[in-house]
């Protein structure tokens, strides 16, 4: 067999086998020039005339063709390819190579080759997917081309993706902090295209997240007096592992294995550095469920922040069912309405959204997600659905964050009506996924209604608890699901003990609901809780506290949701017994001296524990991540601290002492927390504004040296749109934390206190 420099070898065949872009192959020249070649073929593989060309084809046979015939064969191949592109693209590229596998004399003696070429090609490729029969027989990869309609679809998708990148860039610039947005603007002016800038922002966000991990301090530092007040040192919470980890990282020289392990565990990490480890969310495409944004990476991060920071205390749906249906595009446990409502709520906990507080701005993502959720809500056909009930609660929760809780509560009332129609609170008949989801949602809705009643001083809407009791979170943990966290760069997974937290919080909400039934009436007449009823509630609370699982005992708590659970317990005790004391001050009921002393002692001890927990919370996690009840507890502690501070201030003979410094330190910490929370939710801005009005000039100046609470100067823009005193109407019905259960709630609602700020609590 002769060989020549330009012979047609297996390299030529391999080159053809390597053709993946059939559109490029269709542009192959019909002559022996090397000026234009397919993009993924080297020019050296062109067929060029020579004396004889030999090729080993996949079947193992060799063929010999005349030089002119080689050119003619090549030309024919591409000519027919171009001529009938639509039909040929139904078949794989290997079909054309089979022409070369026939003996040359058979190919060229057949005068009807030109007319039968397509027939022969089609015969060789039967079009089966994923491999045609010919390719299966030869054990080669089958590469199908595109029909004309598929070409149009692919090119349309490319244009759509290009347009989407520009839209994503627009959304990102709107929501980035000013400094980052300015950097993006400079890149655009320098000539960067939209896709490159979007990729830069996305990768930059990852870099920032990872850099935050390495830059995290061993602890956060108090803004004033960076030490624990002496009066708190005996608190049981300063014997906790999380506080030991805080101290060990900064002061402890003990290098024992136990200490080193503690310093590397989740007890030594702030939650703001955590990411949820869930393959369902990683693979999901939330953009399939919303028209607001097509940036799946962004939407995944927003949902990630919700599940980490908000879901443990607002569990309206079963996470795994929701994510499974989002991934598979089923609609039993996921719907566009639910996804948009969830994304609207989740924006508050995604700290990279600089304008997440500006819910009134039509260009902000919270506004757009909520508007889309409301639009979809209006399109519902009225048929009760589980996802609609869940979405109604989320819309209400989002509007609470915006300070629009009164109109928002109408969505929860509609959700409650649907729940009754679906018998959501009845005993479940079987263990199917749907029945499980109904039971889970029933408890989520029940807890939400109890919260709405207790903190807004409204009579409860739900008098009966769900018929099915909550299962044991240890024995039936799968009923609750779980959230697994990782703290990069550490890849070790940590459970957040979601099941234990949900069960404990749901049971605490039942006690709060009972308080609501005793104290809040639909009539104008105020209901008074007698002393014996207060002791009854106290006994229930103490039983609840004693029966907490080990993961939620003071020694072992670590995550914000754990700490807030304990804050809620002590805050309820404080409100319960301060209300008894205030009734005595009003002369409406007389307590015995023993009862009075008991109430004072309970309030004092609970206040110490509440402050201790919030201080440890700040040292470990800071107050940067949003939680609606954290705002309430900070304001509650601030009001408890403000009273003795004002008493010291009113005594001209009193000198600055350790007590006054300690009180001021606590007040500054609370205002710092309210300020941080106000970056995430407008309701926190309202709470901060109300609390600011309660300060005297001297205390306000002292706090203002450490927290940005001062009024804008007259020379500057005094109508800042984020300042609730100058911008949006105050619609919230939320009651100032610390108000007595015996008082008329109207006088303590935030919307009234914005104009009447010096009324004293208790």
Q: Are the beta carbons of 660 and 654 closer than 8 angstroms?
A: yes
The confidence band for 727, taking pLDDT boundaries of 50, 70 and 90, is: low
Look at residue 711 in the predicted model and tell me its pLDDT: 53
Domain boundary among 476, 506, 536: 506
Look at residue 190 in the predicted model and tell me its pLDDT: 67
Instruction: Please check whether residue 263 lies inside any domain of the structure.
Output: no
The pLDDT of residue 29 is above 50: no
- Pick the more confident residue, 758 or 361: 361
Domain count, the chain: 3
208, 509, 618 from 212: Cα distances, Å? 6, 36, 17
Instruction: State the Cα–Cα distance between residues 762 and 639, nearest whole angstrom.
Output: 10
The confidence band for 668, taking pLDDT boundaries of 50, 70 and 90, is: very high
- Pick the more confident residue, 54 or 196: 196
Residues 466 and 573 in one domain: no
Least confident of 55-59, 125-129, 478-482: 55-59
The pLDDT of residue 172 is above 90: no
Percent of the chain with pLDDT over 90: 51
Look at residue 31 in the predicted model and tell me its pLDDT: 38
Instruction: Please check whether residue 88 lies inside any domain of the structure.
Output: yes
Look at residue 566 in the predicted model and tell me its pLDDT: 98
Look at residue 430 in the predicted model and tell me its pLDDT: 75
For the ranges 207-211, 321-325, 377-381, the maximum mean pLDDT occurs at 321-325
The pLDDT of residue 595 is above 80: yes
Residues 497 and 543 in one domain: no
pLDDT, tens digit (0-9, with 9 covering 90-100), for 98-118: 444 444 444 444 444 443 443
Look at residue 164 in the predicted model and tell me its pLDDT: 66
On average, the pLDDT of the chain sits at 78
Residues 487 and 589 in one domain: no
pLDDT, tens digit (0-9, with 9 covering 90-100), for 669-712: 999 999 999 999 999 999 999 999 999 999 999 999 998 875 54
How do 62-65 and 53-56 pair as beta strands? antiparallel
DSSP state of 735: B
Look at residue 737 in the predicted model and tell me its pLDDT: 96
Instruction: Please check whether residue 249 lies inside any domain of the structure.
Output: no
> Which class for 202: exposed (0-12), middle (13-18), buried (19 or more C-beta within 10 A)?
middle
Instruction: State the Cα–Cα distance between residues 242 and 265, nearest whole angstrom.
Output: 10
Residues 491 and 617 in one domain: no
pLDDT, tens digit (0-9, with 9 covering 90-100), for 326-342: 999 999 999 999 999 99
pLDDT, tens digit (0-9, with 9 covering 90-100), for 698-709: 999 999 999 887
Instruction: Please check whether residue 380 lies inside any domain of the structure.
Output: yes
Residues 725 and 605 in one domain: yes
Instruction: Please check whether residue 184 lies inside any domain of the structure.
Output: no
Mean pLDDT, rounded, for 538-559: 97
Look at residue 156 in the predicted model and tell me its pLDDT: 66
Look at residue 73 in the predicted model and tell me its pLDDT: 46
pLDDT, tens digit (0-9, with 9 covering 90-100), for 223-263: 888 889 988 999 999 999 999 998 887 765 555 656 666 66
pLDDT, tens digit (0-9, with 9 covering 90-100), for 607-641: 999 999 999 999 999 999 999 999 999 999 999 99
φ, ψ (nearest 5 deg) of residue 64: -130, 130
Instruction: Please check whether residue 208 lies inside any domain of the structure.
Output: no
Identify the three-state secondary structure at position 614: helix
Residues 627 and 495 in one domain: no
Domain boundary among 98, 119, 146: 146
pLDDT, tens digit (0-9, with 9 covering 90-100), for 486-503: 998 888 999 999 999 999
Compute how many other C-beta atoms are within 10 angstroms of the C-beta atom of residue 191.
7
Residues 588 and 455 in one domain: no
The confidence band for 207, taking pLDDT boundaries of 50, 70 and 90, is: very low
The confidence band for 24, taking pLDDT boundaries of 50, 70 and 90, is: very low
Least confident of 240-254, 491-505, 570-584, 718-732: 718-732
How do 275-276 and 490-495 pair as beta strands? unpaired
Mean pLDDT, rounded, for 571-577: 97
Look at residue 194 in the predicted model and tell me its pLDDT: 77
Instruction: State the Cα–Cα distance between residues 735 and 520, nearest whole angstrom.
Output: 13
Look at residue 652 in the predicted model and tell me its pLDDT: 59
Least confident of 92-96, 173-177, 190-194, 210-214: 210-214
Residues 484 and 537 in one domain: no
Residues 444 and 540 in one domain: no
Terminal Cα distance for the chain, rounded:
107
Q: Which residues partner with 64 through β-bridges?
A: 54
Instruction: Please check whether residue 189 lies inside any domain of the structure.
Output: no
Residues 538 and 462 in one domain: no
Residues 496 and 543 in one domain: no
Look at residue 655 in the predicted model and tell me its pLDDT: 55
Alpha helices in 627-725 (DSSP H): 628-650, 658-677, 682-693, 697-704
Contacts of 202 (CB under 8 A, 6+ apart): 297, 298
Instruction: Please check whether residue 153 lies inside any domain of the structure.
Output: no
Look at residue 525 in the predicted model and tell me its pLDDT: 73
Show the domain range for 355. 273-506
Mean pLDDT, rounded, for 442-465: 94
The confidence band for 394, taking pLDDT boundaries of 50, 70 and 90, is: very high
The pLDDT of residue 218 is above 70: no
Look at residue 43 in the predicted model and tell me its pLDDT: 33
The sheet carrying 484-487 orders its strands as: 275-276, 484-487, 490-495
Mean pLDDT, rounded, for 518-531: 84
Least confident of 165-174, 265-274, 284-293, 363-372: 165-174
Which two structure tokens, joined as six digits, stand for 424? 């959501």
Residues 301 and 418 in one domain: yes
Q: Which residues partner with 487 through β-bridges?
A: 490
Least confident of 199-203, 361-365, 412-416, 432-436: 199-203
pLDDT, tens digit (0-9, with 9 covering 90-100), for 411-452: 999 999 999 999 999 988 778 999 999 999 999 999 999 999
Identify the three-state secondary structure at position 54: strand
- Pick the more confident residue, 311 or 725: 311
Look at residue 656 in the predicted model and tell me its pLDDT: 60
Domain boundary among 93, 116, 146: 146
């Amino acid at each position: 067999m002769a060989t020549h420099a330009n012979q047609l070898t297996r390299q030529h065949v391999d080159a053809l086998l390597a053709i993946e872009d059939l559109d490029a192959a269709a542009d192959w020249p019909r002559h022996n020039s090397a000026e234009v070649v397919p993009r993924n073929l080297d020019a050296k593989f062109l067929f060029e005339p020579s004396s004889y060309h030999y090729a080993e084809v996949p079947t193992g046979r060799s063929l010999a063709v005349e030089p002119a015939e080689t050119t003619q064969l090549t030309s024919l191949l591409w000519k027919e390819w171009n001529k009938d592109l639509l039909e040929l693209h139904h078949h794989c590229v290997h079909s054309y190579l089979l022409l070369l596998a026939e003996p040359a004399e058979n190919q060229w003696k057949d005068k009807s080759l030109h007319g039968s070429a397509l027939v022969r090609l089609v015969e060789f490729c039967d079009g089966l997917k994923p491999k045609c029969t010919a390719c299966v027989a030869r054990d080669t990869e089958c590469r199908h081309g595109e029909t004309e309609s598929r070409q149009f679809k692919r090119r349309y998708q490319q244009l759509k993706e290009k347009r989407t990148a520009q839209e994503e860039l627009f959304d990102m610039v709107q929501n980035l902090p000013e400094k980052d947005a300015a950097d993006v603007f400079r890149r655009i002016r320098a000539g960067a295209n939209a896709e490159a800038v979007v990729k830069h922002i996305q990768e930059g966000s990852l870099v920032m997240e990872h850099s935050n991990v390495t830059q995290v301090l061993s602890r956060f530092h108090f803004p004033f007096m960076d030490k624990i007040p002496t009066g708190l040192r005996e608190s049981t919470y300063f014997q906790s592992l999380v506080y030991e980890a805080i101290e060990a990282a900064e002061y402890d020289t003990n290098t024992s294995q136990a200490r080193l392990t503690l310093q590397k565990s989740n007890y030594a990490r702030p939650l703001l550095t955590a990411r949820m480890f869930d393959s369902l969310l990683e693979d999901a495409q939330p953009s399939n469920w919303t028209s607001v944004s097509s940036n799946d990476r962004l939407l995944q991060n927003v949902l990630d922040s919700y599940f980490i920071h908000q879901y443990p205390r607002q569990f309206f749906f079963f996470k795994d069912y929701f994510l499974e249906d989002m991934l598979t595009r089923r609609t039993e446990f996921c719907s566009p309405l639910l996804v948009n409502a969830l994304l609207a709520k989740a924006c508050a906990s995604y700290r990279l959204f600089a304008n997440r507080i500006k819910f009134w701005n039509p260009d902000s993502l919270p506004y757009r997600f909520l508007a889309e959720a409301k639009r979809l809500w209006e399109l519902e056909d009225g048929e009760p659905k589980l996802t609609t009930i869940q979405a109604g609660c989320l819309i209400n929760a989002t509007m609470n964050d915006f300070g629009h809780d009164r109109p928002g509560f109408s969505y929860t009332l509609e959700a409650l009506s649907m729940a009754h129609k679906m018998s959501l609170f009845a005993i479940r008949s079987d263990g199917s996924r749907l029945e499980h989801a109904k039971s889970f949602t029933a408890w989520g809705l029940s807890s939400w209604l109890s919260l709405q009643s207790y903190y807004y001083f409204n009579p409860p809407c739900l008098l009966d608890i769900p018929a099915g009791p909550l299962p044991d979170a240890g024995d039936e943990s799968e009923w609750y699901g779980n959230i697994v966290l990782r703290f990069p760069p550490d890849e070790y997974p940590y459970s957040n003990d979601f099941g234990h937290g949900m069960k404990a919080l749901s049971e605490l909400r039942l006690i709060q609901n009972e308080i609501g039934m005793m104290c809040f009436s639909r009539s104008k007449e105020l209901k008074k809780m007698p002393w014996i009823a207060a002791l009854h509630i106290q006994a229930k609370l103490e039983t609840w506290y004693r029966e907490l699982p080990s993961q939620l005992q003071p020694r072992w708590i670590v995550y914000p949701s754990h700490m807030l659970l304990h804050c809620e317990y002590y805050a309820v005790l404080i409100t319960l017994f301060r209300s008894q004391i205030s009734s005595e001050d009003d002369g409406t009921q007389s307590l015995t001296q023993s009862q009075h002393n008991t109430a004072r002692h309970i309030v004092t001890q609970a206040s110490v524990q509440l402050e201790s927990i919030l201080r440890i919370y700040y040292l470990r996690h800071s107050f940067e991540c949003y939680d609606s009840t954290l705002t309430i507890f900070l304001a509650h502690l601030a009001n408890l601290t403000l009273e003795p501070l004002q008493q010291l201030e009113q005594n001209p003979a009193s000198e600055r002492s350790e007590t006054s410094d300690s009180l001021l330190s606590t007040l500054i910490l609370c205002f710092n927390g309210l300020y941080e929370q106000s970056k995430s939710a407008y309701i926190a801005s309202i709470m901060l504004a109300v609390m600011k009005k309660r300060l005297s000039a001297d205390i306000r100046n002292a706090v203002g040296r450490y927290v940005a609470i001062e009024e804008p100067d007259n020379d500057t823009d005094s109508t800042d749109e984020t300042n609730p005193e100058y911008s949006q109407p105050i619609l919230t019905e939320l009651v100032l934390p610390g108000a007595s259960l015996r008082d008329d709630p109207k006088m303590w609602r935030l919307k009234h206190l914005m104009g009447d700020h010096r009324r004293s609590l208790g």
